[in-house]
Structures are given as structure tokens and as C-alpha cells.
Amino acid sequence: MKKQYEIDGTWYHGGALSSIQQIAANKIDTKLGGGELGQGFYIGNYGHEASAWARHVAKDQKPSVVELRVSSFGAAGLTKRELSWLLAKECSIKIAKADRRRTHVFGVDVVAAPVVGKNFRDTPTQLKWEGAKSAVFLNSLKVSKRITKL
């Protein structure tokens, strides 16, 4: 059975404090980031995963996490693609082999999938936001943001 991914809820993004402050100030750029599913701005549903990621990437800066509250009602006009664990894993492998972790896009506004870097199926959920339309939504007042404690 395919899992249904909800956009509604509280999501987290970890990074260096300077980046997190930009995100909290509604300056999200979906073309800057990259990851296992390609270019985009990633958020996950586990705060501790965002904290761990922040510690990994912050280097000599302060690691920080921003909490984003998203409503599917506000995102109603966005296109969404859902990936099963197996399809997300296959896509991740293809993207990595093609060296496209910073350039691959799916051509939708948001991709919902499990985090496949983990080797088990009951993994955290991630939303990968791509494109200008999703950036406008993320930077709008429809998405509340606040910097949280690690």
C-alpha cells in the first residue's frame, strides 16, 4: 500500500545560523540546495534529524534549525508528486550516478518522499520544494517560520 504524504504540519530545516536567519526572513531560494532527490529546498518532519544535519553542515558557524508550519490549504494551487520508498531509492541512485544532486528537478512544485539515505523503510518524511512557484509560497505569510532550539 502506498503511503499518503501530507503537507500540513510542522516541518524542520537545519543549517548554519546565517542560512537559517535568511529562511526565517522569508528568503528561501529553491535553486540553492541539493540532496538525494536533486535541486530544491528540503524540509523534514523530524526536528532531531534537522538538528543533526545542522551540526553536520554548519562547520565553524552556529548550527540552527528553523521550524516551518505549512498548511495544505495554502498550498492548494501547487503540484505535488509522491514517491514510494522504493521509487525514491531508485531516483536517488539515478540522480547520484548522474551527478545531478544539485541540478535534478521533477518538474513539480513539491516532492513528498521518505528520506532514503536511511536503510529502513519506516523513515522520516521529506518535502523537496522546487521551482519559483514553490519559493513564492514558502516565502509568503501562508508559511510561518521560527528559529528553534537544537
How far apart CA 47 and CA 10 sit, in angstroms, is 9
pLDDT at 125 over 60: yes
How far apart CA 12 and CA 146 sit, in angstroms, is 10
Q: Find the mean pLDDT for residues 10-39.
A: 95
Q: Helix, strand or coil for residue 119?
A: coil
> Is there a contact between 53 and 15 (Cβ–Cβ < 8 Å)?
yes
Mode of pairing for the β-strands spanning 41-44 and 125-129 = antiparallel
Convert the pLDDT of each residue in 37-84 to its tens digit: 999 999 999 999 999 999 999 989 999 999 999 988 788 889 999 998
pLDDT at 120 over 70: no
> Is there a contact between 125 and 49 (Cβ–Cβ < 8 Å)?
no
Q: Find the mean pLDDT for residues 94-98.
A: 97
- pLDDT reported for residue 117: 73
- pLDDT reported for residue 1: 41
Q: What rounded mean pLDDT belongs to the chain?
A: 91
Q: Find the mean pLDDT for residues 13-17.
A: 96
- pLDDT reported for residue 76: 83
Q: Find the mean pLDDT for residues 18-35.
A: 95
* Domain annotation for the chain: domains and CATH numbers: 9-148 (3.90.228)
Q: What angle do CA 135, 137, 139 make, to 5 degrees?
A: 70
Neighbours of 142 (CB within 10 A): 14
Q: Please count the helices (runs of H) and the strands (runs of E) in the chain.
A: 4, 9
- pLDDT reported for residue 134: 95
Neighbours of 92 (CB within 10 A): 21
Whole-angstrom Cα Rg for the chain: 14
The DSSP letter of residue 95 is H
